Amino acid sequence: MKKRTPPRVRFFTSGEGPHLTPPLARPDDGRREAVMSEHVYKIVQLVGSSPDSMEDAVQRALARASRTIRNLRWFEVVETRGQVKGGSVAHWQVTLKVGFTLDEDEATDT
């Protein structure tokens, strides 16, 4: 039985792993085309942890990052690890790449 992802985190899958932003959009005529914007993104790597679940580890990392990083836009799960105690999962650790858009001032600075 497949576990359902909570609605607050929606995963999309690509060859590079699950992430938040869908890589392709389907226009009204049914053709697939890439979703592009004129944003400049910066990427940071975070590690979230939780004794409860992978999803909770992701939520904790994003919640903490959002306190100091503006304009969070997407994330990609890079690695998942866990600690085993007594034959079962005791703790989850999830490594994320997180993308955020730069403020207009930062994007034009060199």
CA quadruple 35, 37, 41, 47: dihedral, nearest 10: -30
Residue type, 46: L
pLDDT of residue 69: 94
**CA atoms within 13 Å, Cβ hemisphere of 16:** 11
Residue 45 to residue 75: CA distance in whole angstroms: 9
**pLDDT one digit per residue (tens) for the chain, 110 residues:** 555 444 455 444 444 445 454 444 444 555 554 555 677 889 999 999 999 999 999 999 999 999 999 999 999 999 999 999 999 999 999 999 999 998 876 555 55
Indicate yes or no: pTM above 0.75.
no
